[in-house]
Amino acid sequence: MNMKKVILLLILAVSVTAVSCKRSSSKNTSRATGWKINAKEGGFQYNEKFKEQETAPGLVFVEGGTFTMGKVQDDVMHDWNNTPNQQHIQSFYMDESEVTNFMYSQYLYWLKSTYPPTEDNFKAIYNGALPDTLVWRNRLGYNEVMTNNYLRHPAYAEYPVVGVSWIQAVEFANWRSDRYNELNLEQAGYLKRDAKTLEATADANFNTDTYINAPTQTYAGNEEIIVPDGGKRNRNIRTDAEGNQTNKFATRETGIISPMYRLPTEAEWEYAALGMSDVRSYNTYRGRKKYPWSGQYTRTGKRKVRGDQMANFKQGKGDYGGIAGWSDDGADITKQVMSFQPNDYGLYDMAGNVAEWVADVYRPIVDDEFNDFNYYRGNVYTKNALNEDGTVKIVTSDDIVYDTLSNGKVIARNLPGEIAQVGVDENETYLRTNFDRSDNRNFRDGDKRSSRQYADSFDEEEGEASESAEVTRKMYNSPKHQVQTDSTGAMIREYDQSSKRTSLINDEVRVYKGGSWKDREYWLDPAQRRYFPQDMATDYIGFRCAMSRVGSKTKGKNKTKN
């Protein structure tokens, strides 16, 4: 064959191969249709440069895995409520420390600025978020210093916030999510710079769900804020052939909108507290851990600080901090966060300082026979409420719904700018096998279908034990206190004095985990679990937030080893 022809054929082969590779590796062409993606002319837009979820403020990454949930030590309390069971947890993020007074004070400041309590319509919003500072009082103790100063004084700024109910902790997490996403969108050019501090009002502010579902109603539809400078700051905006702007608003496809801050589930909290990253060997756990640190003792064995306590807890009767001059843990009440060494996930105070709320409704058992993946009891599924024209219903200042809790405290169920929620119905549950109702808190435990002691004394119509029965056989027959308001606005509290109540457990009690400054060493075991009414607060329960991980299980490159 002629040498020139051979060279020509080689050149053509290389050219075809290069073009073929370029086409197959092009990120701007769909492998499904061959159409262009992210074209300047418009069409389907997608963030192809997204690598992985950015770690949100205050959080650390916790790589998920399988672990034994539940106590593996002696049960001296004979609770039998944490039988060991194997669970798998997806990767997630968790606050490196408990939420502090300083962090919570920022929340209170925002509420006070946005919903002035001087206005009657908003008064309960701010007051409902205030921590209960009276939790420090004791009938036979002098604690007025903490009552007056613990929340506000800068000396306690970095101490964990207490006096916060489970409901208040959830609302803080929702607020934190909105503020973080508001900042992300501002930095990406989707929102006007500094509008979050200079132009937010009760009727015009930012809510993440509203922005996703009805972005034109964010900030009450103020286009100067939601499309700043006519879109000049936003590089993602495209102009079609007719001159119309597209991509003016961020969607989930952009990767800019972060998952929500929330309370960790009980399984997540226990997994994170154990910090088992240092006892894993070829995916098999070596030994068991009693505390968030290695070893079976509460004092460190390191030569430099040998004998120092590893957490802030009560040593014994009357011993909250040790002998003056040489303190066992350096604290008598709570202590500044991050004062002790973190566990192997980088989490501080997962034992001691304050116990912490988690998301779960309390039940004496963990139903691992039904589910052993991301276990959580407390799902109440809702959907967006719709107007008659099919648009989502945005809460206004006139639509705020207030709830009166069992202790008489009034809180706002929703805030202006949010989307009103309703329970899911047959449209979402029909012929489904994974869920068939909106409220799943007592699923397989405590309802008629699962109760082993269901009897004639249970009134099906009323949904509670018949008053005429001598005893009730309902599994969870807790007191039912009522708070009502008469025609004059006066509050009437009715305490349940029935002698037939058999339990304190209901769908409104939540799990809290970890020992506190007020607890003995026994409660430092991450497997220990207790419960408390979700609308009440104490001086020893605080909380920290978590966030779900989207995407890969591992952070960065795949760490799988052969």
pLDDT averaged over the chain?
A: 84
Helices first, then strands: H and E counts in the chain: 10, 24
Cα maximum dimension of the chain:
109
Say if residue 538's pLDDT is above 90.
yes
Q: What distances in angstroms separate CA 4 from CA 1, 8, 10, 12, 18, one per listed residue?
A: 9, 6, 10, 12, 21
Paired residues of 530 in beta bridges: 512
Q: Which pTM value belongs to this model?
A: 0.88
Say if residue 281's pLDDT is above 60.
no
- DSSP secondary structure letters along 72-113: -S--TT-------EEEEE--EEEESSPPBHHHHHHHHHHHHH
pLDDT band at 79 (very low <50, low <70, confident <90, very high): confident
Contact 417/424 with Cβ under 8 angstroms? Answer: no
**What is the rounded average pLDDT of the residues 442-451?**
70
d(CA 211, CA 378): 26
Q: What is residue 562's three-state secondary structure?
A: coil
Look at residue 5 in the predicted model and tell me its pLDDT: 63
Angle (CA) 317-323-324 rounded to 5° is 130
Cα 71 from chain centroid (whole Å): 24
Q: What is residue 561's three-state secondary structure?
A: coil
d(CA 71, CA 81): 9
Q: By mean pLDDT, which of 205-209, 279-283, 290-294 is the weakest?
A: 279-283
d(CA 71, CA 59): 27
Look at residue 469 in the predicted model and tell me its pLDDT: 40
pLDDT band at 153 (very low <50, low <70, confident <90, very high): very high
Tokens of 415: 């805030």
Q: What distances in angstroms separate CA 94 from CA 89, 146, 512, 528, 544, one per listed residue?
A: 13, 28, 16, 19, 7
d(CA 556, CA 184): 21
DSSP class of residue 263?
Answer: P
From the CB of residue 398, how many other CB atoms can be counted at a distance below 10 Å?
Answer: 8
Say if residue 198's pLDDT is above 90.
yes
Look at residue 247 in the predicted model and tell me its pLDDT: 81
**What is the rounded average pLDDT of the residues 488-498?**
81
Closest C-alpha to 172, from 549, 544, 548: 544
Look at residue 453 in the predicted model and tell me its pLDDT: 52
From the CB of residue 80, how many other CB atoms can be counted at a distance below 10 Å?
Answer: 10
Say if residue 534's pLDDT is above 70.
yes
State which of 10-14, 154-158, 469-473 shows the largest mean pLDDT: 154-158
Phi and psi of 120, rounded to 5°? -55, -35
pLDDT band at 13 (very low <50, low <70, confident <90, very high): low
Look at residue 450 in the predicted model and tell me its pLDDT: 58
pLDDT band at 211 (very low <50, low <70, confident <90, very high): very high
**What is the rounded average pLDDT of the residues 65-88?**
83
Look at residue 299 in the predicted model and tell me its pLDDT: 64
Q: Which residue has the higher pLDDT, 244 or 368?
A: 368
Look at residue 240 in the predicted model and tell me its pLDDT: 66
Closest C-alpha to 543, from 275, 169, 101: 169
**What is the rounded average pLDDT of the residues 154-171?**
97
Residue 439 class from Cβ within 10 Å (0-12 exposed, 13-18 middle, 19+ buried)? Answer: middle
Q: Which residue has the higher pLDDT, 267 or 277?
A: 267
Look at residue 93 in the predicted model and tell me its pLDDT: 98
d(CA 464, CA 485): 24
Look at residue 283 in the predicted model and tell me its pLDDT: 45
- DSSP secondary structure letters along 102-167: HHHHHHHHHHHHHS-TTSTTTHHHHHHHS--GGGG-BTTB--HHHHHHTTT-GGGTTSBP-S--HH
Burial profile 155-173: b = 16 or more Cβ within 10 angstroms, e = fewer: ebebbbbbbbbbbbbbbbb
Say if residue 285's pLDDT is above 50.
no
Q: By mean pLDDT, which of 255-269, 394-408, 424-438 is the weakest?
A: 394-408
- DSSP secondary structure letters along 460-516: TTTTEE-TTSSS---S------EEEE-TTS-EEEE----S----S--TTEEEEES--
Look at residue 14 in the predicted model and tell me its pLDDT: 56
Please list, in sequence order, all residues whose beta carbon lies within 8 angstroms of the beta carbon of residue 426, skipping any fewer than 6 positions away: none
Say if residue 463's pLDDT is above 60.
no
Contact 27/59 with Cβ under 8 angstroms? Answer: no
Look at residue 496 in the predicted model and tell me its pLDDT: 87
d(CA 489, CA 482): 15
Amino acid of residue 149: N
d(CA 421, CA 419): 6
Closest C-alpha to 177, from 510, 548, 519: 548
pLDDT band at 446 (very low <50, low <70, confident <90, very high): low
Say if residue 447's pLDDT is above 70.
no
Render pLDDT for 412-444 as a digit per residue (tens, 0 to 9).
Answer: 989 999 999 999 999 999 999 999 999 999 888
Residue 266 class from Cβ within 10 Å (0-12 exposed, 13-18 middle, 19+ buried)? Answer: buried
Contact 356/513 with Cβ under 8 angstroms? Answer: yes
d(CA 205, CA 178): 10
Say if residue 287's pLDDT is above 50.
no
H or E element at residue 394:
none
Contact 149/160 with Cβ under 8 angstroms? Answer: no
Q: Which residue has the higher pLDDT, 76 or 3?
A: 76
* CA-based end-to-end distance of the chain: 50
